[in-house]
Amino acid sequence: MAFSLPVISSIVIFLFTFISLSQSIPFIILHGIGDQCSNRGVKRFTELLSNFSGTKGYCMYVKEMKELRNGYNIVGLSQGNLIGRGVLQFCAGGPPVKNFISLGGPHAGTASVPLCGSGVLCIIADRLIKSEIYTEYIQDHLAPSGYLKLPNAIPSYLEKCRFLPKLNNEVPGEKNSSYKERFTSLQNLVLIMFEHDTVLIPKETSWFGYYPDGTFNPVLPPQQTNLYAEDWIGLKTLDEAGKVKYISVPGNHLGISRRDMKRYVVPYLVDKASRKRSIENDSGVQSKKIEQTATTIDKKTSTKAIFEGSSSYFWPSSIKSFVAELLGLMEEPLPPDT
């Protein structure tokens, strides 16, 4: 399988298999830009999911795992959601993905370079990168450029952006029915949006919502976008079948609490029979069974964000180096973070 995002080749995947007495299938976690398997936020998140679900974890690639042959679930974090969708939509002959749980995924794109911040350097870098975002140089060197979608530059986006237009089946005359076929094979698509997300612009991209072509206002709900209305990847098909859960939680980007993990993530990692008894399929609203289960697991479940302080909030050194070079602030690449 081939991907256009430069970062894909370096993404490491967490694999978790349930203990032998469980009937659940395995699941994997795909982290976001700037994170690593060993980073505090990701490590803490995976450990908590392991504790909540009674799972045992391994770190390997999907196609190398015999344990996945009967299917698996994906939990995506930020940019990792696009990697996960690439695995699902682009890879023929791979093991089937059952449930896709997305936390803060830029599914419809983002209109600003993510993770830098609000400082003067970031503002300058953002404006400069936007002006050159669809050039070959930027597309080759800056991973987020593969999903940066500027509403006022749609023709250039469709022609030059190397990843998202393909992933979302947006390019006129180049629609691939197999992407839609594989995407609609999901049993559940759980889209979690963070109400105070300042990393993804707009935050509604986590639900496939976005700006209309040609303007930055208003933000369209997913059902009013062309991607949904014309069903380019099968989102409408899944939604009409009651398989899409639109969930909003408090917090900034990836700032999910233990309580919300148990309420919105864990139920989709257990076996199908248990999930069917616990979830109201038509609305994504958790039933009393889930509330009771979450309370039983931990009556004092914390609402503190799991990823608070995670490196997911900041640019990794490779991107910092690239931006500094782009702005002419240095002649040699920065040394890697220690």
d(CA 303, CA 239): 29
Q: Does the bond joining 218 to the residue before it have cis omega, within 30 degrees of 0?
A: yes
- Tokens standing for 210? 């976005």
Looking at the DSSP bridge assignments, the partners of residue 284 are none
Looking at the DSSP bridge assignments, the partners of residue 99 are 188
Query: Which residue from 83, 104, 93, 91 is spatially nearest to 4, judged by alpha carbons?
Result: 83
d(CA 235, CA 215): 23
Long-range contacts of 208-211 (CB under 8 A, 24+ apart): 208/107, 208/108, 208/235, 209/108, 210/108, 210/109, 210/149, 210/151, 211/111, 211/151
d(CA 108, CA 231): 13
Query: Which residue from 255, 160, 170 is spatially nearest to 210, judged by alpha carbons?
Result: 170
* CA distance readout (Å), 17 to 3, 52, 216, 263: 26, 13, 43, 20
Q: CB-hemisphere CA count at 13 Å for 92?
A: 3
16 secondary structure, DSSP code: E
Q: Which residues are catalytic?
A: 78, 197, 253
Looking at the DSSP bridge assignments, the partners of residue 73 are 27
Contacting residues for 75 by C-beta, under 8 A, at least 6 apart: 27, 28, 29, 30, 49, 101, 103, 265, 269
296 alpha-carbon distance from chain centroid:
29
* CA distance readout (Å), 298 to 183, 250, 267, 269: 35, 20, 15, 18
